[in-house]
Amino acid sequence: MNVELILLALAPVFVLCIGIEAWYWRRRRPGMYGLKDTVSNATLALMHQGADKLAWLLIVPFYAWLYDHHRLYTMPGGWLGFLLLFVVQDFLYYVFHRASHRIRWLWAAHVVHHSSERLNLSTAFRQSLMYPVAGMWLFWTPMALIGFTPTQIVGVVLLNLAFQFFVHTQAIPTLGWIEYVLNTPSIHRAHHARNPRYIDRNYAGVLVVWDRIFGSYVEESATEPCEFGIVDPIRTHNPITLTFHEWRAMAHDALTMPGWRNKVMALFGPPEWRRAWQAAQVAAGQTVTPSPDGLSGSVGDVRSVGASRNTP
């Protein structure tokens, strides 16, 4: 099974679904789609795909080396092997996604996906070309070590991401008992919301059981509608700015903050750490280095202190 060919065939389906959803909302909620936002999402998707293709040229041989020389087991073929592959990768995706919200280095790439104040199917395309630099690929290395081939690894990662396209919509309500097992639009809407109730929740890729097991699940509430975007919005549709603004702020903090501990925390601490550090400095009467730009500052300015309720 050539997964890349399947995804290539699905590309027109994705575009058609976006068109249908935009038509559906045209009179019901005209602001659901915006031309600049949608074009920005599409441009970010093309940039992301280009970076991914280049990254796989280096990463796949690394997986092959791990598989050929260091695997602990050879996984069975057939449906049993595929089931094991799917479950293992989906769990590792949960770990990656949760880490991307709790480690600033990873959040610097992932923030791109959360930066739109709209949530529609085109938002699924809003990805960062910096994921390979952030280290997303490292999270899939255990699959090579336990005996899955590079082809299997790449294929299941792409299938997992393809499924997630369909949960980026506000047109589908809650789905009852299905939400005990699978990620759904309602579950993912809560994940994209910036309300304190929803921040750092619902990291599911396909299976929501991981959120339920590890205490990161929250239901979408009819009494608290989701507000989408990041806490301090970034007022631009420029794909370059959207991609690099957080990396710029992070580098500024790492270079200007005093002490090695602060520098390490500026890179690898939780996203809201900088704001907490700033507050402590102000309380102590110290001077605080201003934000390097007027868009988002650092991650600490993107998220509120104490907003996370799932700090590992």
Q: How many CA atoms, within 13 angstroms, populate the side-chain half-sphere of residue 254? A: 15
Q: What is the mean pLDDT of residues 245-268?
A: 95
Contact between 21 and 121 under an 8 Å Cβ cutoff? The reply is yes
Structure tokens given for 91: 């769990």
- % pLDDT > 90, the chain: 81
pLDDT of residue 298: 34
Give the bridge partners for 182, in sequence order: 207
Does position 262 have pLDDT exceeding 70, yes or no?
yes
Tell me if the pTM is above 0.85.
Answer: yes
Q: What is the mean pLDDT of residues 220-243?
A: 95
Q: 259 — phi, psi (to 5°)?
A: 85, 145
pLDDT of residue 77: 87
Reported as a pLDDT band with limits 50, 70 and 90, residue 301 is very low
pLDDT of residue 299: 35
Least confident among 111-115, 245-249, 262-266, 280-284: 280-284
Enumerate the domain spans of the chain.
3-214
pLDDT of residue 280: 82
Reported as a pLDDT band with limits 50, 70 and 90, residue 289 is low
